[in-house]
Amino acid sequence: MITLSHCQELDARDPLAHLRARFAQPSEDTIYLDGNSVGAMPADAPQRVQELMTRGWRDARRRGWSYFDWMEKPWLLGEALSHLLGARPQDVIFSDNTSVNLFKLLAYACKLQPQRPVIVTERYNFPTDVYIAEGLAHFLGGKLQLRLIDHPDELPSALGPDVGVVYLSHVDYRSSYRWPMRQTSALVHEHGALAFWDLSHAAGAIEVALEADGADFAVGCGYKYLCGGPGAPAWLYVKPEHQEKDWPVIAGWMGHQDVFAFAPTYEPLAGVRRHLNGSPSILANQAMSAAADLWKLIKPEDLGAKHRSLSELLVQLLQERCAVLGVKVTSPLDYSQRGGHLTFSHPGAGSVTEALLAHGVVSSFRKPDSIRFGLSPMALSHVDVWTAVDRLVHVMESGVWQEPRFAKVSV
């Protein structure tokens, strides 16, 4: 049986343990297992934002563009993240939100091979991913089609000479199933298509290697495991060889070769930065800079090892202590097939999630019977996982979850 002291020993050996103190202490004793939804706040984020408000907005005003790094932040943040994506520093930028970045890069990717008008994706991909592809196909009025697969096993038979882009979430937001990126990209390439990956439920949680694993295009969320703040800008990556094949689809002044020249015609910036368009959110980028300074402290292999350790610990604890209470781990049991969160089922999952909230554990419920624990390797300790499971055991053993006050089902 796993003990608390075993968890304490794991924490003592954790090379990322020092990061936990860099996050703000919440006002109540709570374990936050929602890093897959809204990640933790770095302790110095409020002060950084306040400084921007007073020195930047109040005092500098338009001079902020010259005095501070407002213009450069989109690529400075990208550089800070790049090693955790397995990408070169110059190949990643932050801009817009994930949906807009999906649109920008999917439209760009589809145009590279117009004789291949099919996008292959999963029917149960994250909804916005599917909607963006549907919307693009709708806009182009029949020039593009979606081919939906219901299960990863169906991918090989969905490929063919008409497929231009395979558009997948690296990690399933429900089950946490993780596609093997290297093998999948290779299969996609064998069939002449491009591999497009959404890493929203992977980046900042697990070890990823975009360049080595053959990603042609990738995007990801800034506010989940990356801890950039609610609604933070999202990142995008384009494989070097594709970066200058065409104009960006949304061709704005921040992606112009010489933004303050006010030239009358568009000329794209070199490289991936051409996918910048209008003014970035200066406030949001400033908040995210606090997280970026933490990303820089992390070796990718340490991030991966820490997450694996948390995730394996959680599986063991759930199996040892909660199986008899009706809990079943529904995420893949092979770690290499799992992403940032862990999903398990319980017949009263909605009420259990509510009761857990009341007992100091923030997790999330998915209909009909799933609970997800998001595991942030930056902000969580092994003892946090132990405590969360301990509270889960209490909630289920005591039967408190069956009280009417927990019948309301949360989002």
Among residue numbers 236 through 265, which ones bind a copy of itself (CB under 8 A)?
247-254, 256, 260, 262-265
Q: Which of 41, 85, 188, 371 binds a copy of itself (CB under 8 A)?
A: 41
Residue 228's nearest CA partner among 23, 21, 91, 17 is 23
Structure tokens at 178: 């993780």
Task: Give yes or no for residue 181 binding a copy of itself (CB under 8 A).
Answer: no
Q: How far is the CB of 79 from a copy of itself (least distance, A)?
A: 19
Task: Give yes or no for residue 132 binding a copy of itself (CB under 8 A).
Answer: yes
Task: Give yes or no for residue 230 binding a copy of itself (CB under 8 A).
Answer: yes
Which residues, 6+ apart, have CB-to-CB distance to 151 below 8 Å? Answer: none
Task: Give yes or no for residue 32 binding a copy of itself (CB under 8 A).
Answer: yes
Q: How far is the CB of 367 from a copy of itself (least distance, A)?
A: 8
Measure Cα distances from 229 to 16, 48, 83, 277 in Å.
21, 13, 20, 21
Q: Which of 2, 6, 17, 65 binds a copy of itself (CB under 8 A)?
A: 65
Q: Is 198 helix (H, G, I), strand (E, B) or coil?
A: strand
Q: Which of 78, 204, 280, 348 binds a copy of itself (CB under 8 A)?
A: 280
Q: Which is nearer to a copy of itself, 4 or 53 (CB)?
A: 53
DSSP 8-state assignment for residue 38: S
Task: Give yes or no for residue 96 binding a copy of itself (CB under 8 A).
Answer: yes
Half-sphere exposure at residue 187, Cβ-oriented, CA atoms within 13 angstroms? 17
Window contacting a copy of itself (CB under 8 A); options: 23-31, 182-190, 342-350, 393-401? 23-31
Window contacting a copy of itself (CB under 8 A); options: 11-19, 24-32, 348-356, 381-389? 24-32
Backbone angles phi, psi at 167, to 5 degrees: -125, 100
Segment 327 to 346, residues that bind a copy of itself, using CB under 8 A: none
Q: Are 234 and 222 in contact (CB under 8 A)?
A: yes
Segment 287 to 326, residues that bind a copy of itself, using CB under 8 A: 287
224 is catalytic: yes
Residue 148's nearest CA partner among 140, 2, 139, 163 is 163
Structure tokens at 188: 């996609």
Given the residues 217, 223, 344, 406, the one annotated as active site: 223
DSSP 8-state assignment for residue 72: T
Window contacting a copy of itself (CB under 8 A); options: 21-29, 310-318, 344-352, 395-403? 21-29
Q: Which of 16, 45, 205, 269 binds a copy of itself (CB under 8 A)?
A: 45
Given the residues 198, 213, 216, 384, the one annotated as active site: 198
Q: Are 140 and 118 in contact (CB under 8 A)?
A: no
Q: How far is the CB of 24 from a copy of itself (least distance, A)?
A: 5
Window contacting a copy of itself (CB under 8 A); options: 103-111, 176-184, 297-305, 332-340? 103-111
Q: Is 370 helix (H, G, I), strand (E, B) or coil?
A: strand
Q: Which of 9, 59, 72, 190 binds a copy of itself (CB under 8 A)?
A: 59
Report the side by side order of strands in the sheet with 370-374: 328-329, 341-345, 370-374, 364-366
Q: Are 86 and 225 in contact (CB under 8 A)?
A: no
The β-bridge relationship of strands 341-345 and 328-329 is antiparallel
- The DSSP line for 69-80 is STTTHHHHHHHH
Segment 346 to 375, residues that bind a copy of itself, using CB under 8 A: 357, 362, 364
Q: How many CB atoms lie within 10 A of CB 89?
A: 13
Place of tokens 């999630």: 353
Window contacting a copy of itself (CB under 8 A); options: 93-101, 181-189, 294-302, 348-356? 93-101
Could you tell me how many residues of this chain bind a copy of itself (CB under 8 A)?
A: 87
Q: How far is the CB of 210 from a copy of itself (least distance, A)?
A: 21
198 is catalytic: yes
Given the residues 23, 94, 126, 344, the one annotated as active site: 126
Q: Are 307 and 336 in contact (CB under 8 A)?
A: no
Which residues are marked as active site?
Answer: 126, 198, 223-224, 372
